[in-house]
Structure 1
Amino acid sequence: MSYDAIILGAGGAGLLAAATAGAAGARVLLLDHADKPGKKILISGGGRCNFTNLGTAAECFLSENPHFAKSALSRYSQWDFLALVEAHGIVWHEKTLGQLFCDGSARQIVAMLLEECRRGGVEIRLSTPVGEIGHADGRFHVAGAEAPQLVIATGGPSIPKMGATGLAYQIARRFGLDVVTPRPALVPFTLGEADMLFRTISGVSCPSVARVGDVAFEEATLFTHRGLSGPAILQVSSYWSPGQPVSLNVLADAAGKLREARRRMPRAHLKAALAEHLPTRLAEALASRIGIARELGNVADAELDRAAGILSALTFHPTGTEGFAKAEVTAGGISTAGLSSKTMAARAVPGLYAIGEAVDVTGWLGGYNFQWAWSSGVAAGRAIAARRG
């Protein structure tokens, strides 16, 4: 059967690309090996889908080409997607840092995208393995169908239990596109025996500023039985390279707070002073790490300043991350060097496109990666329709 475009992957990017092209008159086939569309959407945001972020801007994304995302993001912004959400009557709310969630369920976003596909006459085939992809005479042949245009929207290998694979990279290489080495992003760190003290306080979280190199994020850190997690950690994990230390500032103005505690309660110990600002179990672990056993009244300024330095830059040396199994997204992917930033089309292969997580564009935590899916999907969908004409 013949179509104007075949889109591989019924995730967020693939669904909106299909709907966009279909709405403009293109005959589109959307294929996915999964038995349901939008699986990652359904589990996102605790089941309520953090579908975009009001603060979306190109600087919130990682890529070997930091300018690549600008075009797509500006031509289909967070405000455009929000308008679509509201047009479908989906009630939403803003959480911290510009994050937008459905009041109801993530199922509403999937239903919205499927309705948009229905309106555009998109044919959706699920539980359909891609198999071999043929390419001859300017046409792509996939799963018994053919089209002059093919879109790679199969995502990356993060969360393999949801059916995620590295198929996008296999297809890209098949057509001569370079792939930036994929790695887990927005992922917890694992710690070794040297940091066992903090692994024993599993479940404790606190506000912090997490830092890797020159990159820092101020959000919560969660101590786990394996290492470190929480929003601040997930954010910096995207910038981390093996061997790099990770530091946490767990107490703002630590020096001032410790000196004030010494003045107010000279007979107290460090643990008590820390417990005024931090969870008790964390205060105990930090006091043990710092190692001041005397009453605060007997602690000199220099020693308090040393303690403050530790609290301001509590340093860990992760043994690694929890890998693709726990990574929310994949960093790296199909190199942007071979793609048009306006259309997401491969420069060297007419009719081939790559969108969403499959591409070397990775957003911060908080709805940014969904916005990239929407923006890149619309860019490709518009280009498909224009090329058809």
Structure 2
Amino acid sequence: MKAVVFDQFKTFPTLKDVEKPTPGPGEVLLKVAGAGACHSDVAIFSEFTEDFGPAQMKPSFTLGHENSGWIEEMGPGVEGFEKGDAFLVYGPIGCGHCKACSRGQDTYCENAAGMRYLGTGLGRDGGMAEYMVVPARNLVPLGEADPVAAAPLSDAGLTPYHAIKKSLHLLGGGDKFALVIGLGGLGQLAVQILTALTGATVIATDTKEEAMKAAEARGAVIVPGGEGQAEKIREITGGKGVDAVVDLVGVGPTIELGMSVAASQGRVTVVGIAGGNYQWNFYTTPYETELANTYWGTIEELHEVVALYRAGKIEPDVQVYAMDEALQAYHDLHDGKLSARAVVAPHGR
């Protein structure tokens, strides 16, 4: 079968023929419906080195941690699935027996340092292939919903959803405001999730005109980046500030923007992994404002994300590529040419 393989650091992945995998005990073989191309994949092959990056991410392995597919075969001990049923894949894989994993929060596995991989497509063969093997526990049913378009939900949907859920207690009632910084794939879904879960006024900011128009069409109040950005955001809130900020970028200026417009007792959640810094100061930070970061989410939350998708409350923007075009998808992502999430559909749509 064909697969996109990360072979060596600082080198673009290759599309090659590899052996079709066989599911082991507790696993299933999925016929891949869709595999999302994520900036984290680009970081793996363009930024990581032998000395920089998680030890579990050393080559070689098949990329792809945003995956959906149809049941093809079940391994020993697996029951309750039917061939052809569609599922979304929860990507993180922890030890399965620590406190975090027992909560379905494999992203914060207490034994991650001793694991051979961090998840599908993250040290373990992922879904940028015609078939993939997945722990049966990590499957979330899609029913009749389109599995190709659903693929990005396993990261681009789950990640902002988890961050937003941590702030929901601040967004209940009237006269509440939420701010989304960065309107790429995660940001567009964040706008939709906030609209679906809260009655808050959703403010969204970016520098790309097309992205801002898309968010505005989804009900967000738009504030373009640039001079006077923070003042305009505060003006929309009547001067009190934003109750919950979700920063999908994570550079120094965006973190500073979030903190500068946050209300007292508000929360700024940094989701974007750009390594930005923030200089905290008692006199310039609103009282009792939280600055936090989150990573991915739980499998229970992925079930909730899929429920929103199946109900038509959220819809990822996708650009579909054939398997033979998979490397082009990564080139387009790397070169900043995409306005939607690249999804490789090995078996067509």
TM-score normalised by L of structure 2: 0.28
Query: Looking at both structures, which has the greater relative contact order when contacts are Cα pairs under 8 Å and sequence separation is at least 6?
Result: 1
Q: Which has the larger radius of gyration?
A: 1
Higher helix share: 1
